[in-house]
Amino acid sequence: MSELLQFLIAGLKNGSIYALVALGFTIVYAATGAINFAQGEFFMLGGMLCVSFSGLGLPLPVAAVAAIAATAAIGGAFELLAVRPISDGDPLRIIMVTIGGAVVLRQLALHLLGPDERALEPFTQGASIKALGIAVERQTVWIWALTAVAVVALALIYRKTMFGRAMRATSIRRDAARLVGINASAMVTASFALAAALGALGGVAVAPLTQTAFSVGAGIGVKGFAAAILGGLGNPVAAVAGGLMLGLLESLAAGYLDPVYKDAVALLVLLVVLFARPQGLLGGSGRANV
Amino acid sequence: MDTRTLRALAPLLTAAVVAVLPLLVTDPFLLRVFTFAGINALVVTGLALLFSYAGQVSLGHAAFVGLGAYACAFCTVRLEWPWLLAFAASGALAALGGLVLALPSLRLKGHYLAMATLGFGLLMSLAFVEAEPVTGGVDGFGGIPFPAVGPLQIRTAASLYWLVWAMVGIALVAAFNVTSMRPGRAMRALHGSELGAQACGVDIVGVKVRTFVMSALLAGLAGALYASVVGFVSPSVFTLTASITFLAMTVVGGTSSLAGPLAAAVLLTLVQYLDALIPGIPSETAQTLQSYQEDIYGLAIVLVVAFAPGGLAGVWRRRRMGGDAS
C-alpha cells in the first residue's frame, strides 16, 4: 500500500512538470496553430540558467526568478527573430523554424554553459517529510505548490485581465481580434514568452531533484507534448490533467514493470492517443480541432 | 546549346561525373567520404519526397537508418543470410516501422507526424542501447561482412562507392517517376491545399502514408549500406542529431526538387570532412568547424525556412526565370 502511495507521489511530481511543459505547447498552439518544438529547450534553459545564476552567487530565489524572466525574454526574442518573419503563418514553416531554433538554443547552452550535468540545491534544506509510511521530498512539495500557483495565476490572467482576454480573442479568431483593435502579432510574441516562462519554471523546480544538462530539452518536449495531446491539445485544463495522468502512468509502469520502460511510456501514450482518440481524453467529440 | 537541352543533359552529365570519380580519385579515404555522401543522399532523397512533395517533416529518420543498419548486421552475422536478402529485409523492416508510425499520425491535420517521429527516434536510440542481445548495446555490433551478390564480393573502396551511388541513382529515378506522374501531382496538390486536393478526389491519407513508407524504406536501405560499408554499427550514430542533419540537408536543398536536396546532401557531408578534402587546412579550423556543426545545421534550417523557403532549388528556379525574362 505504501509502495503504491510512493509511486503515486512520484507520478504526481513528474506529472506536474509535464503539465507545465504541456501548458506551454497549448498556449503557442492556440496562438499560432503550430506545435513549438523549442518548448523542451525552454525547460532546459530554465534549469541551466538557474544553476548558472546561483553559481554566480545570486541567492536561490533571485536566481530562479532571473532564470524564468531570462527564458521568457529568450522565448519572446525567438518569436520576433524566427517566427515573425514567416509572413504567411504556414504552420509547417513555423514548425520547421522551431525545430531549427531548438537546435540553436541547445547548442548555445552547450557552448555558453558547458557540457556537464549540473544540479541545483533544494529550495529548502531538510529531511523528507514522513507520514503514513511514505516519504515526500521537500522539493516535491515545492514543485506541487509552484505548479498550482502557476496554473491558478494563468487561469486568472486569462479570465480577468484585458491582456488575457486579448490572448483568448486572438486564439479564437485572429483577424476578428485585429478588427477590435488587438495587436495580434504582439499576442503571438507574448504567447511564446509565456510558454517559455512556464517551461522554465518546470526546469527550475525540478533541477534540485534530477540533474540537468544542455541536452534534456528534446526528451521533456516529447513528454510534454504527449501530456498535452493525452488531455486534448489546445485546452489548458486538459493539458494539466494530461500531464498528471502521464506522470502517474510512467511512475506506475516504472515501479511495477521495469524502470527501462519509463521513457517508453510517453511515446506509447502519444501513439495510442493518436490512433484511438486524437482529440484527447478531455476533448469534445468533434474532430474539427485535430 | 539552349537551356532546354542543357536541362535534359544535366542529369546525364552529373551521373557521368559521379560514375567516373573513382577513376580520378584514388585515395581510399576520400572515396569513403564520397560513399558516405551517397548514403546521406539516399536518406535525403526520401526525406525530400516527404518534405517537398507531401509537406511533412520527420525528426526520426536516423532511427529508420538505424533499423536498417541493425537489421542488416543481425541478418548477415547471426542468421547468416545472403547479403542481398539481408539488404531487402532491412528495407522492409524500416518500411514497416514507417507504416506503423504514419498510419495514426497522418490521419490527422497539423503536424503530428513530426512529433511522433521525434518520439520514435528517441525511443529507438534507447532501444538500440538497451536491446543488447540483438544490437550489442553500447559496444555496438561488429564483424558485418561486405556486400556480396552471389559469388561477387564488393569490397574495394571504388566498388563500394559504385554500389552506393548506383542505389542513389535507382532511388532518384524511382522518386522522379513518382513525382512527375500521377502520385507526384497528387503530392504537390496536397502541399498546395489539402482541402483542394481532397475536393479533386485525391486520397490524401493514402498519398501521405505511401510517401512516408517510401522515405522510411530508402532510409532503411541506406542504413544497410552503411553497416556493410563500415562493417560496424554503434548506437551513437543514429541519434536525434543525425535526424536533424538529414532534415537540414533536405531543407537547404529546397522544396519541390530532387536535385536541390541531392546537392545539399553531398555538400553538407563534404563540409564534415573538410580537413580531408583541403589538405592545407589547419586542424584547429577543422575542429572548430566540427564543434559548431550542429549550430550551423540548426541556423541553416531557421534561415532557409524563414527567409528563403525555396532553398537551393528555389534560388536556381528564380535565376532561371530571371534569365528567361532578360
Question: Cβ of A77 under 8 Å from any chain B Cβ?
Answer: no
Distance of alpha carbon A167 from alpha carbon A173, whole angstroms: 10
All residues at 6 or more sequence positions from B180 whose CB lies less than 8 Å from its CB, including other chains? none
Question: Cβ of A262 under 8 Å from any chain B Cβ?
Answer: no
Q: What is the pLDDT of residues A192-239, one digit of tens each?
A: 999 999 999 999 998 888 888 888 888 899 999 999 988 888 778 889
Note the pLDDT of residue A45. Answer: 94
All residues at 6 or more sequence positions from B126 whose CB lies less than 8 Å from its CB, including other chains? A263, A264
| 3-state SS class at A290 | coil
Does residue B123 lie within any of the structural domains?
yes
Does residue A128 lie within any of the structural domains?
yes
Domain that holds residue A186: 19-217
The yes-or-no verdict on residue A287 having pLDDT over 60 is no
Helix, strand, coil percentages (3-state) for chain A, rounded to 5, are 75, 5, 25
Confidence of residue A286 (pLDDT cuts 50, 70, 90): very low
Residue of B nearest to A259 (CA): B130
Confidence of residue A284 (pLDDT cuts 50, 70, 90): low
Distance of alpha carbon B111 from alpha carbon A248, whole angstroms: 27
Q: Are B256 and B313 in contact (CB under 8 A)?
A: yes
CA distance A109 to chain B (A): 11
Does residue B125 lie within any of the structural domains?
yes
* Grid cell for residue A98: 522551431
> Do residue A267 and residue B123 have CB atoms under 8 angstroms apart?
yes
Dihedral of CA B144/B145/B149/B154: which sign?
A: positive
Taking chain B (326 residues) in runs of 10, the rounded mean pLDDT of each run is 73 84 83 92 93 82 95 91 92 94 78 84 89 84 85 84 92 86 71 73 80 94 94 90 92 86 90 76 78 88 87 77 46
Does residue B57 lie within any of the structural domains?
yes
All residues at 6 or more sequence positions from B252 whose CB lies less than 8 Å from its CB, including other chains? B264, B268, B300, B301, B304, B311, B312
> Do residue B57 and residue A99 have CB atoms under 8 angstroms apart?
yes
In this complex, the residue of B126, B244, B306 whose CB is nearest that of residue A86 is B306
CA distance A40 to chain B (A): 12
Query: Which chain A residues are Cβ-neighbours of B256 within 8 angstroms?
Result: none
| 3-state SS class at B152 | strand
Residue of B nearest to A288 (CA): B109
CA distance B79 to chain A (A): 27
ipTM of this complex:
0.85
> Do residue A218 and residue B240 have CB atoms under 8 angstroms apart?
yes
Confidence of residue A181 (pLDDT cuts 50, 70, 90): confident
In this complex, the residue of A86, A99, A222 whose CB is nearest that of residue B122 is A222
Q: What is the pLDDT of residues B138-149, one digit of tens each?
A: 888 888 888 888
DSSP letter string, A235-261: -HHHHHHHHHHHHHHHHHHHHHT-GGG
| 3-state SS class at A193 | helix
DSSP class of B141 = B
* Grid cell for residue B4: 532546354
Interface test with A, best of B50, B58, B112 (most A CBs within 10 A): B112
Return the top range by mean pLDDT from A76-85, A86-95, A110-119, B214-223. B214-223
Q: Are B215 and B47 in contact (CB under 8 A)?
A: yes
Return the top range by mean pLDDT from A70-84, A125-139, A178-192, B16-30. A70-84
Dihedral of CA A192/A228/A280/A238: which sign?
A: negative
The yes-or-no verdict on residue A67 having pLDDT over 90 is yes
> Do residue B294 and residue A107 have CB atoms under 8 angstroms apart?
yes
DSSP class of A128 = P
In this complex, the residue of B115, B302, B306 whose CB is nearest that of residue A35 is B115
- CB count within 10 Å of CB A46 equals 30
Does residue B46 lie within any of the structural domains?
yes
DSSP class of A83 = I
In this complex, the residue of A85, A100, A229 whose CB is nearest that of residue B299 is A100
Question: Which position has the higher pLDDT, A83 or A282?
Answer: A83
Does residue B217 lie within any of the structural domains?
yes
DSSP letter string, A32-77: HSS--TTHHHHHHHHHHHHHHHHHTT--HHHHHHHHHHHHHHHHHH
Distance of alpha carbon B202 from alpha carbon B186, whole angstroms: 6
- pTM, entire model: 0.88
State the virtual CA torsion across A20, A25, A28, A30 in degrees, nearest 10.
-100
Amino acid sitting at position B17 = V
Closest CA to B197 of B211, B210, B208, B209: B208
List residues bridging with A52 in a β-sheet.
none
Distance of alpha carbon A226 from alpha carbon A230, whole angstroms: 6
In this complex, the residue of A85, A95, A290 whose CB is nearest that of residue B307 is A85
Cα of A236 vs its chain's centroid, Å:
12
In this complex, the residue of B114, B240, B302 whose CB is nearest that of residue A100 is B302
Query: Which chain A residues are Cβ-neighbours of B123 within 8 angstroms?
Result: 263-264, 267
Number of domains, chain B: 1
Q: What is the pLDDT of residues A133-164, one digit of tens each?
A: 778 888 888 999 999 999 999 888 888 888 88
**Mean pLDDT of all residues belonging to chain A:** 86
Distance of alpha carbon B123 from alpha carbon B120, whole angstroms: 5
> Do residue B119 and residue A263 have CB atoms under 8 angstroms apart?
no
Does residue B138 lie within any of the structural domains?
yes
Q: What are the backbone dihedrals phi and psi of residue B136, each rounded to the nearest 5 degrees, phi first? A: 85, 5
Question: Cβ of A218 under 8 Å from any chain B Cβ?
Answer: yes
Query: Which chain B residues are Cβ-neighbours of A103 within 8 angstroms?
Result: 244, 294-295, 297-298, 301
Distance of alpha carbon B115 from alpha carbon A25, whole angstroms: 12
List residues bridging with B148 in a β-sheet.
B153
Distance of alpha carbon A42 from alpha carbon A25, whole angstroms: 11
How far from A72 is each of A56, A101, A288, B14, B30, CA to CA, in Å?
20, 15, 31, 49, 47
DSSP class of B239 = S
Does residue A233 lie within any of the structural domains?
no
> Do residue A264 and residue B55 have CB atoms under 8 angstroms apart?
no
Does residue B76 lie within any of the structural domains?
yes
Question: Cβ of A127 under 8 Å from any chain B Cβ?
Answer: no
Number of residue pairs across A and B with CB atoms under 8 Å?
A: 118
Does residue A287 lie within any of the structural domains?
no
Percent share of chain A, pLDDT over 90: 39
Angle between helices A91-113 and A60-78 (to 10 degrees): 140
Distance of alpha carbon A143 from alpha carbon A141, whole angstroms: 5
CA distance A61 to chain B (A): 32
State the virtual CA torsion across A138, A140, A141, A147 in degrees, nearest 10.
150
CA distance B63 to chain A (A): 14
Distance of alpha carbon B166 from alpha carbon B170, whole angstroms: 6
Distance of alpha carbon A12 from alpha carbon A18, whole angstroms: 10
Number of domains, chain A: 1
Closest CA to A238 of A12, A22, A1: A22
Residue of A nearest to B106 (CA): A274
All residues at 6 or more sequence positions from A268 whose CB lies less than 8 Å from its CB, including other chains? none
The yes-or-no verdict on residue A285 having pLDDT over 90 is no
DSSP letter string, B254-272: -SS-SHHHHHHHHHHHHHH
Closest CA to B55 of B201, B183, B192: B192
Note the pLDDT of residue B34. Answer: 92
Query: Which chain B residues are Cβ-neighbours of A270 within 8 angstroms?
Result: 115-116, 119
Does residue B251 lie within any of the structural domains?
no
Which helix H or strand E contains A130, and what residues bound it?
Answer: strand A129-131
Question: Cβ of A89 under 8 Å from any chain B Cβ?
Answer: no
Residue of A nearest to B250 (CA): A96
Domain that holds residue B97: 31-238
